[in-house]
Every structure is written in structure tokens, then in C-alpha cells.
Amino acid sequence: MNYPFWDVEMGYGILMALIAVVHVFVSHFAIGGGLYLVVTEQSARKHDDARWLGFVRRLSKFFVLTTVVFGALTGVGIWFIIGLLDPAATEVLIHNFVWAWATEWCFFIVEILAALLYYNGWDRMSARNHMMVGWIYFIAAWLSLAVIDGIIAFMLTPGGWLESGSFWAGFFNPTYWSSLVLRTGICIMLAGLYALMAASREKDASFKASLVRHSAGWGLVGLAVVAASMFWFLADIPATVMDTAAKAMPIPMAALGLMWQLALVLGAMLVLFGLVLPKAYHPLVGVAVMVLGLVWFGSYEWFRESIRKPYVISGYMYANATEVGKAEAYQADGLLAHMAYRTGDDGDDLFRHACRSCHTINGYNALKPLFDGMDRDYIDGAVMGTGKMLGNMPPFLGTKAEAGLIADHIYKQVDHRPVAEIHGLSGAALGRKVYELRCGSCHVPGGHGSNTESYADMEPGDLGDMLDMAADLGDRMPAFTGTSEERQALIEYLQILGKGGAQ
Amino acid sequence: MNMLPESYFLSAPLWLITVLHVLTLTLHFVAMNFLVGGIIVVLAGKFSDKWNHPVVKQFVKLFPVAMAATVTIGIAPLLFVQLVYPRQMYSAAIVCGWFFLLIVFVVIAAYYLLYGGSFAKAGSKRVPALLFLALAGLLYVSVVYSNVFSLAERPGLCKALYARNQSGLMLNPEVGSWIFRWLHMMLGAVTVGGFFVGLLGRKHDDAFKVGKTFFIGGMAVAMLSGFVYLFSMMDLMKPLMHSAGAWWLLGSIVLALGSLHFFMKRKFAASGGMLFVSLLGMVAIRHIVRLLRLDGAYAPSSVPVHPQWDVFLPFLVCFLVALGVVGYMLKLYFGRQRPD
């Protein structure tokens, strides 16, 4: 907590996506596209085919304008955005990996110059020289991926680095190779999809058919590499991480599911429109397939980012920038003592550093709906218990008093009417809502922390006793502090749960 | 738990990082000066039949390339500043968050504007308009940078500003602490822009004259603003004059004048070399001022050094290979083309 916290209503996820996702798309496309251009140029020249050559040449203009300008600048933009949103993690990465980045910079310079010369050199350079520059472009671009992949994969699986602090252990970490192959596949696939989009506008039907078939081949080869290395990648993620995800992390699991479905649809589209009906490859199909590919890619990055929770650097730093190694110090001194930038409003400062990178009160991933109708003590308990809830959030590492300050801060901003009035509910329906709000984050019936079977043979009196001693039932489980009407309704609902109903 | 690796360290000796930092930052400034100074001189200079003038056309074609060079080279000093001053720099950037982030989008827009200019037909009225807009964007970037880096040197001010506003909507309100620095930088850019116009326009009398005017005039006002900047830092004057900064300052001024002398004689290699070293001196002074300003709050020399020579060496090899490949590609491009 050596940095101020940038407080923007817009979610951090969205801001990050704005630049990072765009960059990731363009940069992978830049690598695969480079290979596509030079390989296709080579074959066109070998067969002395002016039409193919013209196609590649037209492609190269757009290519340079997107990669050199957009790719390079959004790449710099990533430094800006991670520095603003995640300065502490950036600090860790830069100190450990600065020479890797410096090395990537060398490749980057070669890559940018090669792209400019390739694009400007169609008339000026001999065929041999031109293709040579093309190959240099591709090799430099791929090498820069091979470097950056080490750092991205490190964040998910720092491997032996956690013990040794060794650069090489962190760089060639457990998911390095699988994600490198996977990303290479993505590059090839995106190049194919882009070329398909360009090919779809071709007038001459038979030329179009051969363009489409050729480019669909690239898309399919890339997709095949991606699909195969995805299994490898998933196997390289520690089993405990995948287990926790399956139980308590709906987001990465949703992303993973989406990924497989989209890959299937994409493959089917490529075979159908690319290989079987190439002449019918309408521009709209071209755009649709491209978008599908990008959404697939987005879901992969979403998975990779969200499976890392509660960490930003696994095992080392939590996603809210608190450090694993300082947990004891935080708990002893309090978070405030470790905060370099304070505003005078301690509750707000604590909320920012503990929760705000993932939640707002009202907007992005809002907390207000979760706490409307809750009393201050429950909110206090929930803050203390964030680490136990569904979603695998970072544990709250501050003191009890600091949790209280956050609770006050949140409580000020939520609806103070009773749940029954806010939602217009009564009886078992009210009970269900109360359960969702007060218990459901830690005990999902049939899922994360489920304990419905405990209620199986409990009488209403037993359930009431249970609620009275709730705070003693589990580490960081809050006391039941709802109104008597809510208590009654909850007991009613717990009985239904105990009988195996209402799941 | 406490066995996790410590991450606040330098992976090479501080002197080495400083040398690389200052050197790459100077190169970044050369490219930036070509770009910003070049646009200003092209827009303001008196060329005959300006938008059809071969030298002007050449510059318009070169601006996107200069932009690519500015950005690409700029990444290296960005790495080093993050390495040595992350807490100062990012804290300042967060305080100015939206302004800082907007730089990315403004630069992208400026880049496309410059490409638009280079694709436009020679003599088209669109060219000056596009250049003007791009220049406005680049000036925005320079103002924000001056704000952020002047704030980064003033952690106390940075903290006070954050206490006032947490949404990244602050700029450095102590205008005196950045305006002269910024002005000096921009006038320096005009000077260097004048040099490049003279260099590329050496075969055209009117173009050389434009270059000369801006080179001389730019240097005069740049020096003036430099002294104003210097005197605006009265509090640091004494330590600065007792540091290596004094020598750098003296050397830079002499070299700048020498550069002018050789420029007039059309000895461009000598002139350019001196100008470069003079610029290097300015960057070195800038660096010394930063250390003095931070004195008491943060000293890079207190950061532990754990060298990663086994990573540095491969980097060095890659760097040399990259230089070789760059040279090779330029030869492929500009050299005689063998028919196949």
C-alpha cells in the first residue's frame, strides 16, 4: 500500500479491458499476420501469381497501420494502465523482470522497423530482400511474445520463484511453455480470421474461393493448436487452484465453459463456410467469424485473469495489492499504518484498499444490493469474512477495528429499511432472501460451503438456537443480527432447505 | 510466510541503470524533438511554395516514422524510471490519473493524424490542418508529462493533492514548478527541429535558411528559458552548483554554441554530434535535479542491489544483435537491389 488508490467509478476491469484487451488482440494478430503475409508472399512469388501478390500487398497496408500504430501504442498504454490500476504488482514485476522487458524492447525495435520497411518496400526492394525483411519481422515479433509470455504466465504460476526468488524459475514457470504454444496458436488463428475477412470482399468468385480456403486453413490450424494446448495449459495449472475454482469461483468456470463452446462454433463455421462453401463467404460471415474469434480470445484472457483470484501474483500478492508475506504485519499494526497515501477519511481509505479494486458501492460489481437492509454488525462480519465467501476473494487482513470502519463506511450508503419492506416479501420467500443476503455468500446450497444437511433434523427451536450462537459456528462466521421477523422467516426457510427443497 | 522473496531491489548496479536511463531518454528526446520541433518549424517556417516544397514534403512523410521512433525508444526510459522511481512516478501519475491515461489516446490520434498527413496529396490543404491538430495533441502530452514528473519529485505535494481529490483529476497546481521546465523542453525541441530542417534542407537555400532561423532563434530563447528555470529553483541552486551538474551545465552550453558554429559552416556531423552531447548534458542535469529534489524523501542509492548478470548478459547480446539486424535491414532497404 505504498501507492495512492485511483478512485474511478468505472470498474477497474472495464478500464483494463479498454486498453489491455485491445492490445492483446492486436499484438497477437500482429505476430500471426506477419507470418501469414510473408508465407503467402513467398508462395505467390514462387508461382508468379500477381493476383495473390496484390492481395498480400493490400493486406500489408492495413496490417502496418494497425500493428505499428495501434499495437505499439496500446502496448505502451498497458504500462500506463497497469501503473494506474495495479502499481504495486507492476513494481514487483518490473524489479524482477526488467531485463526481460529490456530484451523484449530490442525485439520490438526490430519488429517496428521491419514492419515499416516491409510495407514501404514493395516497389523499392527486390523480392528476396523484401521477403527477408518479412521473415525478420515475424521472428522478432514472435520472440517478443516468447519474452512477455514468461511474465504473464509468472503472475498465474510463479512456481519455484516463490521459494528461490530466481529470475529463471519465475520466467520458465509451470505454465510458460503451454501458454506460449497456446498463444502461438492464437496468433495463427487470428491471422487466418483476418485474412478471411479481407478475402470475403474479393469479387472474382474462383479467386475468392481459393483465398478463402487458404485462409480458413490458417484459422483451423491455429484453432487446432489452441485446442490441444488448452488441455496442456489447464493441466499445468496447480490442481488445487482448479479445485477451488470449481467449488467457489463461478466466474472463471463460466469463462472456461464459454471458451469451449465458442471454439466449437468457430471450428464449425470455419469448416462450413471456409472449406465447404468458400464461394459463399459473405463479408458478414467474415465479420461474424472474426468477432467470434475475438470473443473466444477474450474469454480465454478472462479465464486466465479470473482463475488467479484472490491473487494478482499467485501466492505473493492479493488482487487488492495486499502482500501475502505481510499478512501478520498488517494484522498486528493495522492496514492504515501501512498506507502511504491517506485522505483523512479512514473508512473510505480502508474500503479502497481492501475492496475497491473489485467493487464499488453503487456501480461496477456493486455492494449496495448485497448490503441493503443489513445492519451494521452484519456488514462488519461480512468484511471480516470476505475471504470465506463465494468468489475466492482476498481475505481481509486488517484489524477488527478497521473492519468496523469499513462497515461504517458501507452502512452509511445502504438502504436502512428492513429486507421485508425493501423487497416486499414475507414468510418463506422472505426467509429465502434473508438466507441469500446473510448466509448465501458463504453457504451456497449444494455448492460452496453447503451445509443444508445440517438442518435436516433440526426443529425450529434448534434452528433458533443455532442462529443465536451463529458467531461460534465457524471461523469468521458473523452473528445473526437480523430482525425477529427475518429470524422467523429464515428459520422457516432453513427447514425447507433441510428437507432438501428450494435448491 | 515470511520466506517470500523481497521484490524491491535493483537487478544491476545503480550507475549502470542510470547510464542506460539517461542515454535512452536522450535518444527519446532526439526523436521527440525531430517530431515536435519539426512540426513547429514546418508549420511556422517561410518556405517558398511551402506545401509543395520537397523538404517540407519529406518531413511530412517522415513524421509518422519519427512518431514510431519516439514511442519505441521511449519505452526504454519508461522501464528504467519505473524500476528506480516507481513509487514517485506512479503516485504522481495516479493523482493526475485521467490526464495521464488520456495521453495514450491522444498519442494514437496524433499518430493517425500524421499518417493522414503523409498519405494526403502534396499541396493539399488538409496537411497543415492535420499537422496542427497533431501538434496540439503532442503539446498536451508534453504538458501532462511535465506535470507528472514535477509532481513525482515532490512526494509531499503529491500526498496533499491526493488528500484533496482521489479521482485522478489533479494537475500540479504549483505552476512555477513545471512551466519553465516545460517551456525549456519545448524551445529545445524547436532548436533541434531547426537543426534537422537545416540538415535535410541543406541543398535548398530557403529551407536551410528556415532551419538556421529556428536553430539560432530557438537556441537563444531556449537558453533564456533555461536560465529562468534555473533561477526558479533557487532552493536547489547551491547544491546543484556544487555537484557534477555545474560541469554538465557549462559543457552543454559550450557544446550548444559549438554546434551552432559548425551548423553555420554546414559541418553537420560535428554540429549534430555536439548538439547530441549537449542534449545528453541537459538530461544529466535533469537527473541530478531530480535526485536533489528528492533528497531526504528517497535515495535510489539506498535500494539493495541484487544483480541478475545471467539475465543482463542475454539482454546485451540481444541488444547488439538487434542493432546489427537494424543495420542489415536498412542495407536491404537502401542498398542496391539484386534482381532475382
Predicted confidence (pLDDT) per residue in A382-429, tens digit: 999 999 999 999 999 999 999 999 999 999 999 999 999 999 999 999
A61 touches chain B (CB under 8 A): no
Domain spanning A12-318 has what CATH number? 1.20.1630
A90 and B104 within 8 Å at the Cβ level: the answer is no
User: Which helix (DSSP H) or strand (DSSP E) does residue A317 occupy?
Assistant: strand A317-318
A114 touches chain B (CB under 8 A): yes
Report whether B325 contacts A136 (CB < 8 A): yes
Q: Is the peptide bond before B64 cis (omega within 30 degrees of 0)?
A: no
End-to-end CA distance of chain A: 41
Q: What's the pLDDT score for residue B340?
A: 61
User: ipTM for the complex?
Assistant: 0.95
Q: Give the residue from chain A lying closest to B116, CA to CA.
A: A65
Site from B82, B151, B157, B336 to mutate, A interface, most A CB atoms within 10 angstroms: B82
Amino acid identity of residue A447, one-letter, is G
B82 and A324 within 8 Å at the Cβ level: the answer is no
Q: Is the pTM of this model over 0.90?
A: yes
Cβ-nearest to A327 among B1, B9, B89: B1
Q: How far is the alpha carbon of A276 from chain B, nearest alpha carbon, in Å?
A: 38
Fold agreement (A335-411, A419-498)? yes
Amino acid identity of residue B146, one-letter, is S
Our count of domains for chain B comes to 1
Report whether A494 contacts A455 (CB < 8 A): yes
Q: What's the pLDDT score for residue B1?
A: 46
Quick: pLDDT tens for A167-222.
Answer: 999 999 999 999 999 999 999 999 999 999 999 999 999 999 999 999 999 999 99
Domain spanning A335-411 has what CATH number? 1.10.760
Contacts with B, A 82-101, CB within 8 Å? 83-84, 87, 90-92, 94-96, 98-101
What are the residues whose beta carbons fall under 8 Å from the beta carbon of A312, sequence distance 6 or more?
A86, A89, A155, A318, A319, A321
Q: How far is the alpha carbon of B221 from chain A, nearest alpha carbon, in Å?
A: 33
Q: What's the pLDDT score for residue B121?
A: 87
Q: What's the pLDDT score for residue A65?
A: 80
Quick: pLDDT tens for B130-167.
Answer: 999 999 999 999 999 999 999 999 999 999 999 999 99
Q: Give the residue from chain A lying closest to B88, CA to CA.
A: A3
Quick: pLDDT tens for A219-259.
Answer: 999 999 999 999 999 999 999 999 989 888 999 999 999 99
Q: How far is CA A23 from CA A13, A27, A71, in A?
A: 15, 6, 6
Query: Residue A67 above 90 pLDDT?
Result: no
A46 touches chain B (CB under 8 A): no
Answer yes or no: is B336 within a domain.
no
Provide the residue range defining the domain that includes B71.
Answer: 14-302
Query: Residue A503 above 60 pLDDT?
Result: no
User: Which cell is B206 given?
Assistant: 530557403
Query: Residue B217 above 70 pLDDT?
Result: yes
**CA neighbours closer than 13 Å in the CB half-sphere of residue A141:** 32
Answer yes or no: is B183 within a domain.
yes
Of A21 and A152, which is predicted with more confidence? A152
Answer yes or no: is B275 within a domain.
yes
Answer yes or no: is B333 within a domain.
no
Query: Residue B53 above 50 pLDDT?
Result: yes
A109 touches chain B (CB under 8 A): yes
Mean pLDDT, rounded, for A118-132: 94
Q: Give the residue from chain A lying closest to B339, CA to CA.
A: A126
Answer yes or no: is B167 within a domain.
yes
Quick: pLDDT tens for A71-112.
Answer: 888 888 999 999 999 999 999 999 999 999 999 999 999 999
Q: How far is the alpha carbon of B265 from chain A, nearest alpha carbon, in Å?
A: 33
CATH classification of A419-498, choosing from 3.30.365.10, 3.30.499.10, 2.60.40.420, 1.10.760.10?
1.10.760.10
Q: Where are the domains of chain A?
A: 12-318, 335-411, 419-498
Report the candidate in B270, B248, B252 with the shortest Cα–Cα distance to residue B261: B270
For residue B332, which residues of chain A lie inside 8 Å, CB to CB? 117, 125, 129, 132-133
Report whether B259 contacts B275 (CB < 8 A): yes
Q: What's the pLDDT score for residue B338?
A: 73
Cβ-nearest to B333 among A73, A117, A316: A117
Answer yes or no: is B318 within a domain.
no
Map residue A473 onto helix, strand or coil.
Answer: coil
